[in-house]
Structure 1
Amino acid sequence: MGIDLEAGGRNKKVHRTAPKSENVYLKLLVKLYSFLVRRTESKFNKVVLKRLFMSRTNRPPLSLSRLVKFMEGKEGKTAVLVGTVTDDVRLYKVPKLRLVALRVTETARARILKAGGEILTFDQLALAAPMGSNCVLLRGPKNAREAVKHFGAPGVPGSNAKPFVRSKGRKFEKARGRRKSCGFKA
């Protein structure tokens, strides 16, 4: 006896088809962008919809300084980020920006608006640029999380994985695998 599979066999392509979040405003955006994906042949809208489904880990925040760096030489275009824009105190001068994001922190918002920029929401973007024309789609650095630093095996030659250690003093994890006199040195 085999297994009674539905047509199409075992599903090998598992990806989100709706957001896990219960946020009603996010669900409204999904409704809007799924309509746009259906009615327009725009890849931009497809990508935005896919990113609206993503988990918070996969929607990393983007700092204001990185945003400014990415938008250099793209004056007159709209920066689009499915995620959060955070302030960066290391950035001295904020240029005039046109930004669309799910969320902008208060300090970042104040700095952008003070520089004469504007911040739109995704529903306003859908009216202004339904096909995503003149838009620059951006993403935050996904591997900048603290957790990612610990990935991989510590102690293997050539590995830079961060050990889970209380502190990095003389008495902590400095024996076997760390020096020649104790077993081996990685």
Structure 2
Amino acid sequence: MARWRPGSTGRLQQAAIELFTENGYDATTVAEIAERAGVTERTFFRHYGDKREVLFAGQQEFQSGFVDAITDAPPGTPAMELSARALDAASRALQEARGREHARARYAIISAHAPLREREQLKLAVLAQAVTDALVIRGIPDLPAHLAGDVVVSVFSTAFARWIAPGETRDLLDLQHEALAELANLAGTITAA
């Protein structure tokens, strides 16, 4: 087996998804993932601390897609427009990098294991805080920034679940825009007590 070959990270991720899907997460070993990817276990551990990390690789880049869109927006952009820009940028990157089938397989694996679901929820909580922090840095007051951070995660999660649903063919961006429009309609019907 080669000591090092380019593309190890991608091959490890693909091998892990395939094996988790075929054999189950708990029954799959790091050794099996490495073998399927054509690398050594040592190479696996150079990239990931454990097999769980394969499913959460790229978390920082994913979060940066949201934050960078907020940071790079023109001065004076309102909070909800910043949120929409963040959603669009991150969704484009997600679709290009992974694709729907990979996302479906990953989600099925995570959904079947409580500790992985907890990790996914933590990832989303960290994302909401990162979006909130980016909005505050842009001068958005604390309350609207927190609400917008939570809205971004809620809209993303809702659109993502619809995007990976069996038979769904619409683009993730379209599903997010639909969710944002529905949220605006809903907000328009709320009256203060």
Could you say which TM-score interval applies, normalised by the shorter chain? under 0.3
**Of Structure 1 and Structure 2, which has the larger fraction of its residues in strand?**
1
- Which structure has the larger Rg over C-alpha atoms? 1
Instruction: Report the TM-score when normalising by structure 2.
Output: 0.25
**Of Structure 1 and Structure 2, which has the larger fraction of its residues in helix?**
2
Instruction: Report the TM-score when normalising by structure 1.
Output: 0.25
